[in-house]
């Protein structure tokens, strides 16, 4: 069953007639405004896609290809200029349902320091629930289980500024998780993290996906993070340029370079070995698969 459906959506950022209007708008509204000089070009062009409940999806593409603009359409932070987005069969344009949509699709952004507001971890996680006037006993329960969900129970009473980047991002995930979402969108949530932090966050969301069936949509520049995805969309200049399973995407070979992507290291190694004449299947992307392929060579 499709959980999110986007049908021919296009989006243009608002354009203002003169610079003053632009400056004022920038100051008074938190909606993104583009410089009037950069007018014209659509950020999204007729994007159609479906996300099934429980999928682990990745979106790749160059800086400026429209990934984040698209992500903001998934919980009505932005509304399409043309076309329609449905979340759980609700049109994101229906104003009275906007909170239902935002409850079911939560977002985690890039900078851990910009999205934590509480001075104690559990207060931060409770923030969304408090805004919905949930009874405090229920909040307590939800916060406890959300922190458990991301493996941060021991840090409930910590000040967020004592946490590492990876821990802060897991707290941000817990804040979303406390709202019992059906889907979590990660907009480059690992970009600023060290290797351990990146691993922690990815393992956490993969577990939430497997154990709780939460749909995960991850925007990333790290090719390695996409290898276990169910499906990948590659965006280019506001359009979907490629789509498929990780094996399908990476077996496109050097076509990926033109889209600004890179090979994950193991696939890259397999690719070079093939070029040097070794008989390695085209769809090898995981280390254990390459190991197996090399063992098979020995047997022959």
Partner 1 sequence: MIIKLEDVNYIYNPGTVEEVTAVSDANLELGGDSFTAIIGSTGSGKSTLIQMLNGLLEPASGQITYDGVPIYKKGKLNKEEKKALRQLRCRVGLVFQYPEYQLFEETVLKDVCYGPKNLGFSKEEQEEKARAALAAVGASEELFEKSPFEISGGEKRRVAIAGVLAMEPEVLILDEPTAGLDPLGKSQLLELLKKYHEEKHVAIILVSHSMEEVAQYADRVIAMSKSKIVLDGSTEDVFAHRAELEEIGLGVPEVCAFTQSIGLGDVLTVEEAAEKIMQVYGNV
List the one residue from 61, 66, 175, 238 that touches partner 1 (CB under 8 A): 61
Q: What is the DSSP string of 231-248?
A: EEEEEETTEEEEEE-HHH
List the one residue from 5, 25, 103, 221 that touches partner 1 (CB under 8 A): 221
Least distance (Å) between residue 250 CB and partner 1: 12
Which range in 32-40, 88-96, 101-109, 117-125 contacts partner 1 by CB under 8 A?
32-40
- Gap between the Cα atoms of 160 and 131, Å rounded: 20
List the one residue from 224, 228, 230, 283 that touches partner 1 (CB under 8 A): 224
Least distance (Å) between residue 269 CB and partner 1: 5
Cβ closest to partner 1, residue 27 vs residue 276: 276
Least distance (Å) between residue 111 CB and partner 1: 9
DSSP helix/strand/coil, 292: helix
Residues 179-198 that bind partner 1 (CB under 8 A): 188, 191-198
Residues 88-127 that bind partner 1 (CB under 8 A): 110
> Binding to partner 1 by residue 273, rule CB under 8 A?
yes
- Gap between the Cα atoms of 288 and 115, Å rounded: 37
Q: Do β-strands 231-236 and 239-244 pair in parallel, antiparallel, or remain unpaired?
A: antiparallel
List the one residue from 8, 64, 113, 130 that touches partner 1 (CB under 8 A): 64
Q: Do the beta carbons of residue 234 and residue 220 sit within 8 Å? A: no
> Binding to partner 1 by residue 254, rule CB under 8 A?
no
All residues at 6 or more sequence positions from 96 whose CB lies less than 8 Å from its CB, including other chains: none
List the one residue from 24, 131, 136, 265 that touches partner 1 (CB under 8 A): 265
| Torsion sign across C-alpha atoms 97, 33, 27, 24 | negative
Q: Do the beta carbons of residue 79 and residue 253 sit within 8 Å? A: no
Cβ closest to partner 1, residue 148 vs residue 194: 194
List the one residue from 27, 38, 137, 254 that touches partner 1 (CB under 8 A): 38
All residues at 6 or more sequence positions from 221 whose CB lies less than 8 Å from its CB, including other chains: 60, 188, 191
Cβ closest to partner 1, residue 126 vs residue 242: 242
Assigned token pair, 165: 């980047």
Residue 63 class from Cβ within 10 Å (0-12 exposed, 13-18 middle, 19+ buried)?
Answer: exposed
Instruction: Give residues in contact with partner 1 (CB under 8 A).
Output: 35, 37-38, 61-64, 110, 164-166, 188, 191-198, 221, 223-224, 257, 260-262, 264-266, 268-269, 272-273, 276-278, 287, 290-291, 294, 297-298, 300
């Amino acid at each position: 069953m499709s959980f999110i459906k986007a049908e021919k959506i296009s989006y243009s950022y608002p354009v203002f007639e003169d610079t003053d209007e632009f400056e004022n708008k920038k100051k008074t509204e938190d909606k993104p405004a583009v410089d009037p000089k950069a007018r014209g070009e659509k950020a999204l062009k007729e994007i159609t896609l479906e996300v099934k409940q429980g999928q682990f999806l990745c979106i790749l593409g160059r800086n400026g290809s429209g990934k984040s603009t698209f992500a903001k359409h998934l919980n009505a932070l932005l509304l399409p200029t043309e076309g329609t987005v449905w979340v759980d069969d609700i049109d994101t344009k229906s104003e009275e349902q906007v909170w239902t949509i935002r409850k079911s699709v939560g977002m985690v952004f890039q900078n851990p320091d910009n999205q934590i507001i509480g001075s104690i971890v559990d207060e931060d996680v409770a923030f969304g629930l408090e805004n919905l006037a949930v009874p405090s006993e229920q909040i307590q329960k939800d916060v406890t289980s959300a922190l458990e969900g991301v493996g941060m129970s021991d840090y409930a009473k910590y000040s967020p500024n004592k946490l590492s980047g990876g821990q802060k991002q897991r707290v941000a995930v817990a804040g979303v998780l406390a709202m019992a979402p059906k889907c979590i969108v990660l907009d480059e949530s690992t970009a600023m993290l060290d290797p351990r932090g990146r691993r922690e966050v990815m393992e956490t969301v993969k577990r939430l996906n497997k154990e709780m069936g939460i749909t995960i949509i991850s925007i990333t520049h790290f090719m390695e993070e996409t290898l276990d995805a169910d499906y990948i969309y590659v965006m280019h200049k506001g359009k979907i340029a490629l789509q498929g399973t990780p094996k399908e995407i990476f077996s496109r070979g050097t076509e990926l370079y033109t889209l600004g992507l890179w090979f994950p290291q193991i696939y890259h190694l397999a690719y070079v070995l093939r070029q040097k004449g070794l008989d390695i299947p085209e769809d090898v992307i995981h280390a254990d698969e390459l190991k197996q392929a090399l063992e098979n060579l020995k047997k022959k």
